[in-house]
Amino acid sequence: MTLGIRLLIPLLLSMALLTIGQVFARDITVKDYDRASWHPIHTKPYIDNAGDEQCLSCHQEIISRKLLYQSPAGVKASEVLAWYQTLSTYEGEQDTFHRRHLVTPLAKELMDLKCNTCHQGNDLREEATIPPDHSNREKTLRKSVNPEICLMCHGRNPYKLMGLPKPWPESRALFQNDCLLCHANIRTNRHQVDFLKAEAIEAAAKKDPDICYGCHGGRQWYRIAYPYPRHAWKGMSSTTPEWAKDRPTESEPRFRIKNQQAAK
């Protein structure tokens, strides 16, 4: 009897959570914060269909939060440059991490990030498998975001693969500081994902090359480069370079633009 009750508890708990419906900030108190953290919207498959309005109803602080006027050591934010301010593409004062990705002028102009572009949810009971399973990348070891998502825009510039003699800051003069000098005809099928505004990026890149470099080495967090899919483009060689033989030819399914998927 006791064993039967123990087996029923997880089932009853999951059924109860599914009947709660959407959780909004006004419904949550300090006492039932734990209830909200276990809400199904934080897990698959529900988070895939979660809208920003639902997320921000509880997490509005990521937009409203402001930076400190000065550091605990007394250094004023207005008197120093943050690392992301070193490129010409960033406008305005220093800002918080989430605001720089969602509401700053550059984010609105070139990006279309949603909360669930990066946050794919997690299972509080099964964040890591034992024994480890390196083939299962959905287990993110208590990270809120899979680091591969960040790597797409914060990886190293693979200048050697592109045949550049030195890193872009040292080679840019040889190419008139213009990425499109080569990329007007090479890998022209680019940025076709649902979290970027491809046409806006192309237009902005013609005015300022740092638009390209910003996401391809200029805001580098990692020591490695992201292995971008090699989408076919007009005039593409039939011979695949050795370094690209394991590259996918399509973006990850959840990032593909819907009308592209419908055309397949």
The whole-model pTM stands at: 0.79
Q: What digits encode the pLDDT tens for the residues 131-162?
A: 666 666 665 555 578 889 999 999 999 999 99
pLDDT at site 10: 47
pLDDT at site 13: 46
Q: Taking 60 as the threshold, does the pLDDT of residue 256 lie above it?
A: yes
pLDDT at site 17: 43
**Taking Cα atoms as reference points, which of 4, 5, 208 lies closest to residue 89?**
208
Residues 133/139, Cβ–Cβ less than 8 Å? yes
Distances (CA, A) of 162 to 5, 65, 90, 122, 243: 62, 40, 26, 37, 11
Q: What digits encode the pLDDT tens for the residues 86-103?
A: 998 998 899 999 999 999
Q: What digits encode the pLDDT tens for the residues 158-211?
A: 999 999 999 999 999 999 999 999 999 999 999 999 999 999 999 999 999 899
Give CA–CA dist 73/57, Å, rounded: 34
